[in-house]
Structure 1
Amino acid sequence: MFNEISSLHEECGVFGVWGADNANYLTYLGLHSLQHRGQEGAGIVTNENGKLHSYRNLGLLSQVFANKQRLYDLVGNAAIGHVRYSTAGENKIENVQPLLFDFTDEQFALAHNGNLTNSITLKKELESKGHIFKSSSDSEVLMHLIKISTEEKQIDKIKDALNKIQGGFAYLLLTKDSLIVALDSHGFRPLSIGKLNNGSYVVASETCALDAVNAEFVRDVLPGELITISDKGMEIDHWTNDTKLAFCSMEFVYFARADSDLLGINVHTARKRMGKRLAKEQPVDGDIVVGVPNSSLSAASGFAEESGLPYEMGLIKNQYMGREFIQPTQELREKSVRQKLAAVKGVVRDKKVILVDDSIVRGTTCAYIVRMLREAGAKEVHLRIASPQFKFPCFFGIDIQKKSELLASHKSIEEMRKMFDADSLEFLSEDGLVDAIGLKTDGPDTGLDLSYFDGNYPAYLYDYAETDA
């Protein structure tokens, strides 16, 4: 959640375009809309008449392309781009994507959102056969598998490779004559396709990036699909038909931008319904409702509307403080919170404050925010969390892979309440979350990955199966 500053991270966002003269600029705009999905590195690869050009570096997108000439040099009418937060692989330049491969007979670039659960095993097998990896990221595994495939056609090589990897992935592959899109068999991560006025296709992790380039939404990429976009148009195929939707519920809770639509559901609307359901399930006597900026504001407005209480801006976020201020120790983290968030004394003084947040993950600074409100004069502070207790790690694309990192996995609600010095603490139920998201599926299956809350993983964990999950 945002008030824990660096507690939880989606590791990246991807964007691609085919058939547009200003592909470099469109990709920059699209990635800018996806910056919330990753702030450690960014890059763009363009296709100029079959020749691929690349630039990538560490930092925010604006920092990577601070020298605008680097962007102007990326000429071509097709491109893929990536913003990164590391989950598998260190934060170093070699792991910044898109990864560009120069072979004797072709060039290939790839951008990946997700996490492969059998990458360690596959890398060991490949290295034993003499393969040398240019990064420590799991994303590179796919390219090695494509190159060693014995299939004749390139698309069949890609299908063969995709059938060897496991986990969560949304891949964009750029070749000299096509943009290829692939989604894992459970559809853990979001991926959408849009179309520009000139007929060019755009692919993005979230629809907010389609809106940023004025692209009209065409369709979501579905589990197991392999889509080829070229000068011939869009061809929809499948690398597997063994699919079962298990979309990441935390996309709705926290990761996605409020103006995005995921599988036809607006994120803000879903979060507002979470807040409404939370108010029904866990009502409390209060004077005002305050949300923690920014991902909790929609849920807070829903809670206030349902409870009939005023929704107030009791916390202000400094919009100009970047991630470079995040510090490794608790003391420095608390100072970072004071720089990033401030309580509005005139709003919270002498009030019973209902503080709505989206989730509690590590709980590293939640107590500090409660204390901040009390120091600002709040008479009472009641914590209401618009998601269930986050008890189990994620292995499909979030940087939480140890149960010991999760506060709710080893603390009761009452123990957490005392830690935070809150007057009360309650969470949204799993049924409440599912109903609030409102994903329509056939039969009783929710179509959501709820493993963060119930520990029921929709896919085998492979290399992570022996961890303290």
Structure 2
Amino acid sequence: MLTTHPFDDDHLHEECGIFGASGSEGAAALVALGLHALQHRGQEAAGITSFDGRDFHTHRAMGHVAGNFDRDDVIRALAGDIACGHVRYSTTGETALRNVQPLYAELQSGGFAIAHNGNISNAMRLRRELVRRGSIFQSTSDTETIIHLVATSQYRTLLDKFIDALKQVEGAYALIVMTPDGMIACRDPLGIRPLVMGKLGDTYIFASETVALDVVGATFERSVEPGELVIVQNGELRSIRPFDQVAARPCIFEWVYFSRPDSIVDDHSIYSVRKNIGAQLAIEAPVEADLVIPVPDSGVPAAIGYAQESGIPFELGIIRSHYVGRTFIQPGDKVRHLGVKLKHNANRALIQGKKIVLIDDSIVRGTTSLKIVQMMREAGAAEVHMRIASPPTRHSCFYGVDTPERAKLLAAKLDLGGMTDFIHADSLAFVSIDGLYKALGEAQRAEGRPKYCDACFTGDYPTTLTDHDESSAIDQLAMLDERVN
């Protein structure tokens, strides 16, 4: 069986979304609303854990928040005035209920629930050592590594054990943790993954994006700072910074694609930045055309920016049906092609005979761009020019984003001419890396110490990649062994 997501299956998929509320009667209902607002960050599974002062309660399920957490009996069973939740798109671990978060464990100090956005890039090495010492893992998620590090730490207090665990992991994490003593929210020292804090009356709220605060009526207070632990106990908030201070490197793709356009990340409006990227793209890669057309929905803000800067009219040349979910079809080119049109269809009357500029956020494998260009040709477009609101994606992400291995990335295999031929476009251009930084208010990308993590474009990873490096070394030894034998 195949799922037809014709314009979604070839994007860099969102990593995860987390939401926590402390100090609200019926906190789980608030968390469920917040998770609805973060559904774009993960559509594979969702979970909520609550604490009622004595017991922890958890409900986890495959699928969307709607249908799993809009039932009164489910929310009533999640009693308590403190709760945290998670929406998942798996980047590590199999697609199975045992990997759905929040993960929960009974430690010596009591219950411990954790929701994680990001990826621990040395989880496999840590896991091997923990198993050697006697740990028994219940999931294949990298997040469970943190639980075992806390459980086996020799420090006395739970907070010190948690800090000890975090000092042993590398990679990216935004975490919400619940214990019998309260809630902890934190980000990795580089701040690769986002996390914000808000208030709703006396309730403290933590979320991956500000849009989730908006939905529940909370006031945005500030971002949780890179390397900061924010602790809420008995309605009181305090902050500690147990790590050595380093220059932050938040993920630049939050502004390109991941975050909702109505969110604000590090004082930047996502919508405004995406329009700026489109305008910069028009400056760097102009083309004579009749229409600017976005690839829905992620290409819309950049297309507006491109149209305004270039003076070429913006039009909706691809119409998306929002009433078609997953469409299961049997394999077969003819039926599959018809299935594509259930969700996206060309606005033929608008496109026929026109020179068009298509705006999309990224090219990963290139298969989606090929489909879009073909759709425009079949609708009668005279010329099809593709403009991409990010630099070429040439490297895999190891910080919580589902990226294909590098050998499958189109920009890692082909030069610009080769990519243009592959998607059958009349021309193709990407915004430059300096142009992307300009859209975020920077003069250019600083060499040596860039302000953002842009490793998917540049290969400049801000942390060590222990598991990947060890795996690569093993693969190279295996290849050498095959040649010798």
TM-score band, normalised by the shorter chain? Answer: over 0.9
8 Å Cα contact 1:343/1:373 also seen in 2:
yes
CA distance in 1, matches of 2:340, 2:404: 24
Q: Superposition pairs for residues 23-422 of structure 1, below 5 Å?
A: 23-65=27-69, 67-103=71-107, 105-196=109-200, 198-323=201-326, 325=328, 334-400=337-403, 402-422=405-425
* Structure 2 counterpart of 1:451: 455
Cα distance, 1:294–1:177 mapped onto 2, change above 3 Å: same
Task: Note the C-alpha offset of 1:72.
Answer: 2.1
Amino acid at match of 2:368: T
**1:204-261 deviation per Cα after TM superposition (whole angstroms, max 9, x unaligned):** 0000001010111111011111110122421111131232211111111111100000
Task: Note the C-alpha offset of 1:393.
Answer: 0.5
Cα distance, 1:154–1:34 mapped onto 2, change above 3 Å: same
Amino acid at match of 1:345: R
Amino acid at match of 1:341: H
Tell me, what secondary structure is at the counterpart of 1:415?
helix
Tell me, what secondary structure is at the counterpart of 1:312?
coil
* Identity %, equivalent residues: 43
* Structure 2 counterpart of 1:13: 17
Tell me, what secondary structure is at the counterpart of 1:247?
coil
* Structure 2 counterpart of 1:461: 465
Task: Note the C-alpha offset of 1:105.
Answer: 4.8
Tell me, what secondary structure is at the counterpart of 1:122?
helix
Tell me, what secondary structure is at the counterpart of 2:32?
helix
State the aligned residue count.
468
CA distance in 1, matches of 2:444, 2:20: 29
8 Å Cα contact 1:288/1:352 also seen in 2:
yes
- Range with bigger deviation, 36-45 or 4-13: 4-13
| Unaligned stretches of 5+ residues in structure 2 | 474-485
Cα distance, 1:170–1:124 mapped onto 2, change above 3 Å: same
8 Å Cα contact 1:265/1:439 also seen in 2:
no
Task: Note the C-alpha offset of 1:311.
Answer: 0.5
Tell me, what secondary structure is at the counterpart of 2:421?
helix
CA distance in 1, matches of 2:226, 2:102: 22
TM-score (ref. length: structure 2): 0.92
| Unaligned stretches of 5+ residues in structure 1 | none
8 Å Cα contact 2:189/2:248 also seen in 1:
yes
1:435 partnered with 2:444: no
Cα distance, 1:356–1:441 mapped onto 2, change above 3 Å: closer
TM-score (ref. length: structure 1): 0.95
Task: Note the C-alpha offset of 1:410.
Answer: 0.5
CA distance in 2, matches of 1:118, 1:246: 19
CA distance in 1, matches of 2:404, 2:170: 16
Amino acid at match of 2:35: L
CA distance in 2, matches of 1:76, 1:233: 17
CA distance in 1, matches of 2:387, 2:61: 39
